[in-house]
């Protein structure tokens, strides 16, 4: 077993499904202590139980809406208290995974909806800033701590109907790069993991619950799974403290580029 996550506190936003839930289970299997946030608390409690079953020495769930500063601050205050109760005298957060986010709609700019644009900017952009600002005081210097943001191949390639999502993930990429400059000298590592096509609830959310439409992006291809991405997150966090994985792009073999996906008949 790799040991760098064992008994270390790992905070994951958007842990109620997809990458975040898989990351909770994967870090749990490493013996980590988990602080999990999302809006669907029932789902989150289930993920926490799965993570404990996988081997997490602690797994706690709490409501979090990264789109609201008050919710982020309340979540971090709760996280700080949980860490103190479980490990008195310490409030050391070893890994912060800013994963909460997603796409809403696939409209062109001409047909775009304010509520979709606002939701994408709130979660993918402002959520990362808010959570990082609130959690940074809990992160130790020179101890191999990591901030891992979940970006996307959409940060690097535009596509029709993707303007707000691509723009949001491009902002995440530049936020990650700025933060790495700001934290240089603290020993806190800053990474972005940028996946391509991955089958989670991402498309169901993008297409507002239309399950048939949500299947289309994956048809005929073998997409990434949430577990593929979770394994990478554990690997990134477990590099030796002097190693920073700056930017990691991962796509399924069938996706050569954002627009070029091999689909079997």
User: Where do contacts with ligand 8X3 occur on this chain (CB under 6 A)?
Assistant: 152-154, 162, 165, 196, 258
Q: Are 201 and 162 in contact (CB under 8 A)?
A: no
Residues 202-221 that bind ligand NDP (CB under 6 A): 202, 205
- Residue among 92 and 121 whose Cβ is closer to ligand NDP: 121
Question: Taking CB within 5 to 8 Å according to partner kind, which of ligand NDP, ligand 8X3, none is near residue 34?
Answer: none
Catalytic, out of 117, 165, 202, 207: 165
**From the CB of 203, what's the least distance to ligand 8X3, in Å?**
8
Q: Which of 176, 166, 227, 161 lies closest to 198, judged by CA?
A: 227
Q: Are 196 and 217 in contact (CB under 8 A)?
A: no
Which residues on neighbouring strands pair with residue 224, listed in sequence order? 198
Residues 66-125 that bind ligand NDP (CB under 6 A): 66-67, 99-102, 123-124
165 is catalytic: yes
- Residue among 9 and 202 whose Cβ is closer to ligand NDP: 202
**CA terminus-to-terminus distance, the chain:** 41
Question: Which positions ≥6 away from 242 have C-beta within 8 Å?
Answer: none
Rounded Cα gap, residues 23 and 98, in angstroms: 11
Beta-sheet strands, E only, within 103-216 = 146-150, 189-195
Q: Are 83 and 91 in contact (CB under 8 A)?
A: yes
Q: CA of 198: how far to CAs of 86, 203, 205, 218, 230, in Å?
A: 35, 9, 13, 8, 12
Start-end of H helices in 87-126: 114-120
Question: Taking CB within 5 to 8 Å according to partner kind, which of ligand NDP, ligand 8X3, none is near residue 98?
Answer: none
Question: Taking CB within 5 to 8 Å according to partner kind, which of ligand 8X3, ligand NDP, none is near residue 131?
Answer: none
**From the CB of 150, what's the least distance to ligand 8X3, in Å?**
9
Largest CA distance in the chain: 59
- Residue among 58 and 199 whose Cβ is closer to ligand 8X3: 199
Question: Taking CB within 5 to 8 Å according to partner kind, which of ligand 8X3, ligand NDP, none is near residue 23?
Answer: none
Q: Give the interface with ligand NDP as residue ranges (CB under 6 A).
A: 13-20, 38-40, 64-67, 99-102, 123-124, 150, 152, 195, 197-198, 200-202, 205, 226
Task: List active site positions.
Answer: 165
């Amino acid at each position: 077993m790799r040991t760098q996550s064992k008994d270390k506190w790992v905070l994951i936003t958007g842990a109620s499904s997809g990458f975040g839930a898989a990351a909770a289970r994967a870090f749990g299997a490493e013996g980590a202590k988990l602080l999990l946030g999302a809006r669907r608390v029932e789902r989150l409690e289930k993920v926490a139980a799965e993570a404990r079953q996988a081997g997490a020495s602690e797994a706690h769930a709490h409501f979090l809406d990264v789109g609201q500063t008050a919710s982020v601050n309340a979540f971090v205050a709760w996280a700080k208290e949980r860490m103190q109760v479980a490990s008195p005298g310490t409030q050391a957060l070893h890994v912060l995974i800013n994963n909460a986010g997603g796409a809403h709609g696939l409209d062109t700019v001409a047909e775009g909806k304010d509520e979709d644009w606002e939701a994408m900017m709130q979660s993918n952009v402002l959520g990362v800033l808010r959570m990082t600002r609130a959690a940074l005081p809990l992160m130790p210097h020179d101890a191999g701590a990591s901030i891992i943001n979940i970006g996307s191949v959409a940060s690097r390639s535009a596509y029709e109907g993707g303007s707000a999502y691509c723009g949001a993930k491009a902002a995440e990429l530049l936020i990650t790069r700025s933060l790495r400059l700001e934290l240089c000298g603290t020993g806190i590592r800053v990474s972005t993991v940028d996946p391509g096509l991955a089958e989670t609830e991402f498309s169901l959310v993008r297409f507002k619950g239309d399950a048939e439409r949500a299947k289309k992006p994956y048809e005929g291809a073998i997409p990434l799974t949430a577990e593929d991405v979770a394994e990478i997150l554990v690997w990134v966090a477990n590099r030796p403290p002097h190693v920073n994985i700056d930017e990691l792009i991962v796509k399924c073999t069938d996706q050569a580029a954002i627009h070029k996906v091999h689909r079997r008949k």
